[in-house]
Amino acid sequence: MATIEEILQVEAIEKDIYRGPSFPSHLRRTFGGQVAGQALMSATRTVSDTYGVHSLHGYFLRPGNPDEPTVFLVDRIRDGRSFTTRRVTGIQDGEAIFMMSASFHVLTDHGIQHQDRMPPAPAPDELPDRLNELTDEAKAVFKEWQEFDLRVVPPEQMATSDYFAAQQRVWIRHRRRLPDDQVFHVGTLAYMSDMTLLGSSKVPHPGVEPQAASLDHAMWFMRPFRADEWLLYDQTSPSADAGRALTQGRIFDLDGRMVAAVTQEGLSRTGRPMPTDQHARQDR
């Protein structure tokens, strides 16, 4: 399978036009994290390294074909003294499959500081490697992400709040040492952030398997981090209705620093025949 370095290595084919490579896949649709990560790396290539990405907002418009590369068109919306904005459109076969706006902030700004506390969770080394727990069928799909170590905190080991409708916590990291470039770690986390988050909406509904797909995805990056070191993905789903589920995630490093936040709305439709590729999206 392709490495994350290969996945995020977008090719410049013209000014502000990039091509994200495709790779053999077990999925029938391009993984949303791959499209988001490649779009973000394309935008980053047009911005001075004196700025760092602080937010992205993306919409999944059409299912991508995992066997085809995606072309990313970058629009330079604004270049300011403190903030820079880019809009990226991902295209396959002449149609937009993804749109993203990304904002970059100068790295030298200072201001007030505070954050929520990291919730308690067992150490990742105390939990089993998820790859060793899956069924043979699920393992075939999970090969897409075998470079990533995912360890789900069991419900009985979670400190929960009665005010939250659905809660889930997952330790995540890349299994190998990655390049030191912080831009690369941001792109890797954008890829990783699409894993498991929509699954938090199913926690209150055991045995129900809705039709699932990412509809939109937003991220905010607060502090530097490494994607090859353990990160706790604290996930909630505050609401689900009308075939859509809202999910949110806060990401902490081992020192308890909140490094990123995620919000995603996804399809959670029931009452229709399950599509033949549903097994490929069971974690989303």
pLDDT reported for residue 144: 75
Expressed as residue numbers, the domain containing 267 is 4-108+124-281
Question: For the CA atoms of 133, 138, 141, 142, what is the dihedral angle to 10 degrees?
Answer: -10
Residue 37, in any domain of the structure: yes
Residue 69, in any domain of the structure: yes
Q: How many residues does the chain have?
A: 284
pLDDT reported for residue 267: 95
Structure tokens at 185: 């770690």
d(CA 163, CA 161): 5
Residue 151 belongs to domain with CATH number:
2.40.160.210
User: For residue 119, with 0-12 CB atoms within 10 Å meaning exposed, 13-18 middle and 19 or more buried, which class applies?
Assistant: middle
Domain count, the chain: 1
pLDDT reported for residue 136: 62
Residue 114, in any domain of the structure: no
pLDDT reported for residue 13: 97
DSSP 205: S
pLDDT reported for residue 23: 87
194 is catalytic: yes
Residue 67, in any domain of the structure: yes
Pick the catalytic residue from 194, 228, 253, 283. 194
Residue 98, in any domain of the structure: yes
Per-residue pLDDT of the chain (284 residues; tens, 9 = 90+): 789 999 999 999 999 999 999 988 878 889 999 999 999 999 999 999 999 999 999 999 999 999 999 999 999 999 999 999 999 999 999 999 999 999 999 999 999 999 999 999 999 999 988 777 666 655 555 677 889 999 999 999 999 999 999 999 999 999 999 999 999 999 999 999 999 999 999 999 999 989 989 999 999 999 999 999 999 999 999 999 999 999 999 999 999 999 999 999 999 999 766 554 443 333 43
d(CA 64, CA 98): 9
Contact criterion met (CB below 8 Å) for 187 and 37: yes
DSSP 119: P
Which strand ranges, in their side-by-side order, compose the sheet holding 83-92? 11-14, 17-20, 70-79, 83-92, 95-106, 51-60, 211-221, 258-269, 244-253, 231-241, 167-174, 148-152
Residue 116, in any domain of the structure: no
Contact criterion met (CB below 8 Å) for 16 and 44: no
214 is catalytic: yes
pLDDT reported for residue 111: 97
Residue 18, in any domain of the structure: yes
Long-range contacts of 131-139 (CB under 8 A, 24+ apart): 137/279, 138/279, 138/282
Residue 115, in any domain of the structure: no
Q: Which residues pair with 167 in a beta bridge?
A: 236
> Whole-model pTM?
0.92
Pick the catalytic residue from 200, 214, 235, 268. 214
Output the DSSP codes for 155-187. GGG----TT-S-EEEEEEEESS---S-HHHHHH
The closest alpha carbon to 23, from 38, 41, 7, belongs to 7
